[in-house]
Structure 1
Amino acid sequence: MPVKDQIHAQIAGALAGATFPIATPDDLIAAFPDGANTTCRVGDLKMTAGEAGTLLKPSDFPFKSATDVADVIVSRAGL
């Protein structure tokens, strides 16, 4: 499975228990199991939720699902 798909799956999985819609960046970070320190890792690539949050724009909100969040982060990360 490509790195992009693995990271996408990890982000979506980390948010599986979150309540959507999520309307703010702070609410999104809080929805991750370890907050900003939640880490997705594939081989040598590592990304925390805090780092991923810097890729988001106010216009991205509200997010309607974990898949939506993962789609935007993976796309903007250039994976």
Structure 2
Amino acid sequence: MSAKEEIHGQIVGALAGAKFPIKNPDELFNALPDGQNTTCKSGDVVLKASDAGKVLSSDDFPFSSAEEVATTIVDKAGL
């Protein structure tokens, strides 16, 4: 499994209990277990939610599923 696939899966898992749609970054951070400190790791690749927040724009919202959040973040983060 690649780092991209592993981190994608971790993001989906972290958002398993989230209520959608998620309309803005604050709602996204609040939906994560450790908020902005939520961290996904795969080998040497580390992605914190606060880092993900830097690559998202207002045009990315609203998100309708955990899968959509994960795909957008890993693509925009260049994983």
If the length of structure 2 is used for normalisation, what is the TM-score? Answer: 0.97
State the one-letter code of the partner of 1:30: N
CA RMSD of aligned residues (A): 0.6
Aligned residue for 1:9, secondary structure, equals helix
Alignment of 1:1-79 (within 5 A): 1-79=1-79
Alpha-carbon distance in structure 2 between the residues aligned to 1:6 and 1:34: 19
Give the Å deviation of 1:64. Answer: 0.1
Consecutive unaligned residues of structure 2, counting only runs of 5 or more, are: none
Superimposed CA distance per residue, residues 30-72 of structure 1 (whole angstroms, 9 cap, x where no aligned partner): 1000000000001111111111111101011110000000010
Alpha-carbon distance in structure 2 between the residues aligned to 1:3 and 1:46: 9
If the length of structure 1 is used for normalisation, what is the TM-score? Answer: 0.97
State the one-letter code of the partner of 1:24: N
Matched length: 79
Alpha-carbon distance in structure 2 between the residues aligned to 1:55 and 1:69: 12
Deviation above 2 Å: which 4+ runs of structure 1? none
Alpha-carbon distance in structure 1 between the residues aligned to 2:49 and 2:77: 12
Aligned residue for 2:47, secondary structure, equals strand
